[in-house]
Amino acid sequence: MKVILQNLTKTFPARGKKASADVTAVDNFSFEIPDGKLIGLLGPSGCGKSTTLSLICGLQKPTSGKIFFGEDDVTDLPPENRGVGMVFQNYALYPHLTVLGNITFPLENLRGKDKMSREQMNAKAKEVAALVQIENLLDRKPSELSGGQQQRVAIARALVKMPRVLLLDEPLSNLDARLRLQTREEIRRIQNETGITTVFVTHDQDEAMSISDMIVVMKSGVVQQIGAPQAVYNDPANLFVAKFLGTPPINVFDGTVRDGTLYIGDAAVLSAPGIKDGEVTVGVRPEGFIPDGNGALVCRQNRVEVMGRDVSVIASHPACRTESGVIRAIISAESDISAVADTVSFSLKPNKVFLFDREMEERIPCKLS
């Protein structure tokens, strides 16, 4: 089932005397979610991603705009008539019911021709329990389960009615690091097996990049960029997206373009043909640095961190505008780099360097070399 969001806007009225303007949580969001894909809504807290999920779910009504599931306009439908399954951040499992009771709860609500017998319900519940691999936990109470198991029960409950769209709100935020890796694979597998269009919300870019077919990066209610994770990473639309994706984060420098050449400080690092002269902001991915004795970018070397597979060089440069104040370059462990040197010189990989407008922070399209 494809989901179409058309100019979706949600504003919350200003509260209190001091607040002057209404708060716009989601601003003119348009996106067509292809059928059977896993979509990650990504952004810092307060960017409107959870509100977007609530709008798709139907728990909140949009101020303007429309939502379609396939050909059906569901904008004014209450959540129960939309055919959505929702997994809440805290799972919202009913503590007084067993796992089986929790999973059959949505089925017990069915009335009329959809009404199921107890045997049918239990059979259905066992089917989804097998899908999320919790068949042996059906008699337990939620308080007797681990976080990961509760998560699976919540997913099973959301899936048992075979929803047209599955929604997950921060599905991994309550799990520890190990379980998070495991569970995100699990979500990917369940989504693949059921083929249900799935939207999940996260503030963790690792999580979104690793399992999504497409990611939507949001900031202050406005969609910044939509695309396949790798495409967005390789081709960020603006400085915000470039900074938000990738660990360690992108390194930012003040740069200047003069006569078709890009300068960081006084160093002419790359040629930038066809770009208007002026001040720019330069973003360099950590893997975009090549240690090179003749490299143009000479930095003061602070320290070297060896991490097995690769080495990160922590350096500083006067033009660096990264929030931490230092440059972090990731280079191959085979590179010949001295841990005790005072300075380090880099040349840059052109495809890992992005230019942004200094004022607007929009990407300047260009071909560096």
Tell me: does residue 105 bind other proteins (CB under 8 A).
yes
Tell me: does residue 85 bind other proteins (CB under 8 A).
yes
Query: How big is the site for other proteins, counted in residues (CB under 8 A)?
Result: 24
Nearest of 102, 94, 190 to residue 139 by alpha carbon: 102
Interface residue with other proteins, options 47, 86, 252, 257 (CB under 8 A): 86
Tell me: does residue 57 bind other proteins (CB under 8 A).
yes
Tell me: does residue 62 bind other proteins (CB under 8 A).
no
- Among the candidate windows 56-64, 170-178, 179-187, 256-264, which touches other proteins by CB under 8 A? 56-64
Interface residue with other proteins, options 26, 84, 145, 299 (CB under 8 A): 84
Minimum distance from residue 194 beta carbon to other proteins (Å): 17
Q: In terms of CB distance, is 166 or 252 closer to other proteins?
A: 166
- Among the candidate windows 26-34, 103-111, 257-265, 303-311, which touches other proteins by CB under 8 A? 103-111
* Pairing between β-strand 72-73 and β-strand 64-69 as defined by DSSP bridges: antiparallel
Interface residue with other proteins, options 10, 152, 161, 164 (CB under 8 A): 161
- 3-state helix vs strand vs coil in the chain, percent to 5: 25, 35, 40
- Sheet-wide strand order for 310-316: 289-291, 343-348, 297-306, 310-316, 327-332
What is the chain's length?
A: 369
Question: Residue 66 CA to chain centroid, in angstroms?
Answer: 23
Interface residue with other proteins, options 36, 46, 65, 79 (CB under 8 A): 79
Query: In sequence order, what are the residues at sequence separation of 6 or more whose Cβ sits closer than 8 angstroms to the Cβ of residue 281?
Result: 239, 252, 253, 254, 255, 321, 355, 356, 357, 358, 361
Query: In sequence order, what are the residues at sequence separation of 6 or more whose Cβ sits closer than 8 angstroms to the Cβ of residue 126?
Result: 135, 138
DSSP three-state, residue 116: coil
Tell me: does residue 44 bind other proteins (CB under 8 A).
no
Q: In terms of CB distance, is 161 or 317 closer to other proteins?
A: 161
Minimum distance from residue 30 beta carbon to other proteins (Å): 24
Q: Mark residues 184-213: x for contact with other proteins by CB under 8 A, - for none.
A: ------------------------------
* Main-chain dihedrals φ then ψ at residue 209, nearest 5 degrees: -65, -35
Tell me: does residue 115 bind other proteins (CB under 8 A).
no
Interface residue with other proteins, options 13, 16, 95, 274 (CB under 8 A): 95
DSSP structure string for 44-100? STTSSHHHHHHHHHTSS--SEEEEEETTEE-TTS-GGGTTEEEE-TT----TTS-HH
**Residues 317-346 close enough to bind other proteins by CB under 8 A:** none
Question: Residue 101 CA to chain centroid, in angstroms?
Answer: 33
Q: Which parts of this chain interact with other proteins (CB under 8 A)?
A: 57-59, 78-81, 84-86, 88-90, 92, 94-96, 105-106, 108-110, 157, 161
